[in-house]
Structure 1
Amino acid sequence: MENLRKGFPVLEQYTYLNTAASGLLPESVWEFRQNHDLDFLIGGSVFKDKQADALTETRELVGEFFNCEPSKVALVPNFSYGFNTLLEGLKKPQKALLLENDYPSLNWAVESRDFQISYAEIDQNLEKNITEAFEKQQPDFFAFSIVQYINGIKIELDFIKKLKQKYPETLFFADGTQFCGTEAYNFEESGLDVLICSTYKWLNAGYGNAFMLFKDGVQGKIAPKTLGFGSLQGKYKAHEGNFIGKFEPGHQDTLNYGSLAEALKLINKIGLTEISSRIESLSAKAKAEFTKMDLLEESVVKRNAHSSIFNIKGGDKLFQHLRSKQIIVSQRGEGVRVSFHYFNTEKELDLLIKEIKEFGI
């Protein structure tokens, strides 16, 4: 376990329980970034001539990691850019289904456009609420986060797959930013039409890079209007009017997308099964302990499966107390949000619980 922690210097000075806000930069990714810019410094355009190969490697690594053909993987700078480009390619008006209080970058993007919007409530009956909303509204598209950023509620992915089978004409758009990198996910066999993910959290790839995965049937239903010289550059974008090229109109950043490639190589080296197992074990213990201490909302306690993100009771004073003990967490909603990644330990969870008890909750 200690070997997995050595690649993250932040862990030497903090108890870092805040991946849900910002993942850590691994030393291996930092080293790549140093070498990348040194090569650019001394090579200029000679180095940049290799740009297409670098982007191809990243696209293929993402595709292999999530079981999606590389020709259906778009590299974008962040979730918001990709999602807004996607929405601009939809014919309007359309009926949209969202989740109440979902991540602002998702809901705001839909709400700022001329869609007829309905909502499903996020609680212990999330899937039932969504089912009822579908029966009532028959939405043209359903956009949602797989894991909720405030309290960590995770939607049942088998439910999404069955729902898509029942409503094949509805487009399913998912934000995987709080999910991707925590467990294996087979996009091709999923119920999603589009998965979008910023990779600075659980994939530990740094900022400025994200990806989009597409199913075959999407191209006939979405017509992005963005276009640029970069839209036609690269192994998988060679023909005019290609679909993923419309999400990549300009010069692509090999530093940031190369960072994503290095982050995926690190995860592959550790093993996603190992990572998932560690996260699941910590999450189960945390939920059990927090439940005994009456720190969680009812909607989280009553659900069987959960992510490794928890919102515990306590306001600014608890937050400041934990920070004074070098325990890094976030304030979200009405509580304090803690999150556990594979480099965290039961010892750190025990320390958190000890400090919460000493604080007096």
Structure 2
Amino acid sequence: MLIDNLRKGFPVLEQYTYLNTAASGPLSEKVWEFRQDHDMDFLIKASLLKEKMGDVLTEVRESVGQFFHCAPNRVALIPNFSYGFNSVLESLDKPKKILLVKGDYPSINWPVESRDFEVVYAEMGENFESNIIEKIEKEKPYFFAFSIVQYINGVKLSIDFLKKLKEQFPDLILMADGTQYVGTEDFNFDDSGIDIVISSCYKWMNAGYGNGFMLFNESIQGKLSPKNLGFGSLQGKYKAHEGNFIGKFEPGHYDTLNFGSLKVAIDLMNEIGMQIIQNKINALKKMARYRFAGAGLLEEWTLERAEFSSLFNIKGDEKLFNQLRGEGIITSLRGNGIRISIHYFNSEKDLDHLFKILKI
């Protein structure tokens, strides 16, 4: 697929300079067409369509597993990150000590803080990785729950760092929110050192709302005791004969519309190629960072980090945010600034439009 054609399947790009995937990824025409066809089939066939629900979900599970390099019997399908994360927290037999990142995504920190866990925090800043290691050495937490990419400023914990962290602290359970990360680069879960990745897929996967996944490493089953159970827990391949572990994260009837959308979104990314997607994002994010940094729009400490995401928080207020919106540039107000997020379907022309309004 030609690079110039990457944006053609996203009609929103014809109306706006869309730099807001970190808030909500736009729907592609291919996903929309699948959803139209699916609901037409449901309208006409009713239960006859739903009789194939198990086969559809199996295909989705296998597609997710293949895409992220994780065996399908260790993939659980969930409606969103928060559902999966809360399910894991409820799977711990007794309160544990958990390490969090101060200022991390509320859907990570709030559920932990609302339970009887002993909570310790690592400070985000210029010594981010060192702060994490020091806290682990001092506090010896059972879990470290964190975002791979921070939702406000785009600060990224590299997969290499996380892999080394697991090697240094093999008993520490690493549980990552991948919602602001998956879909931006090729991710090999089994080679990452992470024990559990949980993600919603409505952002960088462009799969719409109501679908997500959990990836488990092979050793995690004995450390969790999931308690959810329902009719869906035993339905379909990879469940009953696997001791019902992933089934306990899938207790109910699932919507083939939403999960089928995830498979179509993955098929589209496979068709383009993750290396092409990754290269395109890398080129655009380097260009953006260079211009933002030159204009003094970024926090100084973030500029010293070798690895960074395509999500930036630039200095700006509501007045500037509204000015950008008035020029058709879609962003988000987050923290003390304006969040800019760049995906593979964006272009140099999009960035030039932004730079022009920012006068940088």
TM-score after normalising by structure 2: 0.98
Which sits farther off after the overlay, 312-321 or 240-249?
Answer: 240-249
Q: Which residue number corresponds to residue 183 of structure 1?
A: 185
Distance 1:240-1:304 versus aligned 2 partners, 3 A rule:
closer
Q: Distance in 1 between matches of 2:161 and 2:4?
A: 37
Point out where structure 2 has 5 or more consecutive residues left out of the alignment.
Answer: none
Q: Which residue number corresponds to residue 130 of structure 2?
A: 128
Deviations 1:57-92 (A, max 9, x none): 000000000110001000000000000000000122
Give the letter for the 1:8 counterpart: F
1:313 aligned to which of 306, 312, 315: 315
Give the letter for the 1:267 counterpart: M
Q: Distance in 2 between matches of 1:240 and 1:56?
A: 14
Query: Deviation at 1:239?
Result: 3.7
Q: Distance in 1 between matches of 2:274 and 2:241?
A: 35
Does the CA-based 8 Å contact 1:15-1:328 persist in structure 2? yes
Q: Which residue number corresponds to residue 33 of structure 1?
A: 35
Q: Which residue number corresponds to residue 195 of structure 2?
A: 193
2:205 aligned to which of 198, 203, 216: 203
Query: Deviation at 1:124?
Result: 2.3
Q: Distance in 2 between matches of 1:129 and 1:353?
A: 35
State the number of aligned residues: 358
Query: Deviation at 1:240?
Result: 8.1
Q: Distance in 2 between matches of 1:239 and 1:180?
A: 29
Give the letter for the 1:139 counterpart: P
Does the CA-based 8 Å contact 2:73-2:242 persist in structure 1? no
Does the CA-based 8 Å contact 1:311-1:337 persist in structure 2? yes
Deviations 1:275-312 (A, max 9, x none): 00000010111111100000001121121110000000
Aligned pairs for 1:313-332 within 5 A: 313-332=315-334
Q: Which residue number corresponds to residue 104 of structure 1?
A: 106
Q: Distance in 1 between matches of 2:119 and 2:100?
A: 7
1:214 aligned to which of 213, 216, 221: 216
Aligned pairs for 1:129-168 within 5 A: 129-168=131-170
Q: Distance in 1 between matches of 2:203 and 2:134?
A: 32
Q: Distance in 2 between matches of 1:238 and 1:42?
A: 32
Q: Distance in 1 between matches of 2:126 and 2:157?
A: 10
Q: Distance in 2 between matches of 1:275 and 1:240?
A: 35
Q: Which residue number corresponds to residue 261 of structure 1?
A: 263
Q: Distance in 2 between matches of 1:32 and 1:299?
A: 44
> Is 1:13 aligned with 2:15?
yes
Q: Distance in 1 between matches of 2:122 and 2:322?
A: 34
Q: Distance in 1 between matches of 2:275 and 2:299?
A: 29
Query: Deviation at 1:260?
Result: 0.1
Q: Distance in 2 between matches of 1:101 and 1:329?
A: 21
Does the CA-based 8 Å contact 2:17-2:350 persist in structure 1? yes
Does the CA-based 8 Å contact 1:72-1:214 persist in structure 2? yes
Q: Which residue number corresponds to residue 54 of structure 1?
A: 56
Give the letter for the 2:119 counterpart: I
Aligned-residue sequence identity (percent) comes to 62
Q: Which residue number corresponds to residue 231 of structure 1?
A: 233
1:337 aligned to which of 336, 339, 342: 339
Query: Deviation at 1:166?
Result: 1.6
Q: Secondary structure at the residue paired with 1:84?
A: helix
**RMSD across aligned C-alpha pairs, in angstroms?**
1.0
Q: Distance in 1 between matches of 2:184 and 2:75?
A: 20
Q: Secondary structure at the residue paired with 1:123?
A: coil
Q: Which residue number corresponds to residue 349 of structure 1?
A: 351
Query: Deviation at 1:3?
Result: 1.5
Does the CA-based 8 Å contact 1:232-1:239 persist in structure 2? no
Q: Distance in 2 between matches of 1:32 and 1:163?
A: 41
Give the letter for the 2:252 counterpart: G
Query: Deviation at 1:241?
Result: 4.6
Query: Deviation at 1:190?
Result: 1.1
Q: Which residue number corresponds to residue 169 of structure 1?
A: 171
Query: Deviation at 1:243?
Result: 0.2
Q: Secondary structure at the residue paired with 1:54?
A: helix
Q: Distance in 1 between matches of 2:205 and 2:301?
A: 27
> Is 1:116 aligned with 2:118?
yes
Q: Distance in 1 between matches of 2:14 and 2:242?
A: 50
Give the letter for the 2:46 counterpart: G
Aligned pairs for 1:237-276 within 5 A: 237-239=239-241, 241-276=243-278
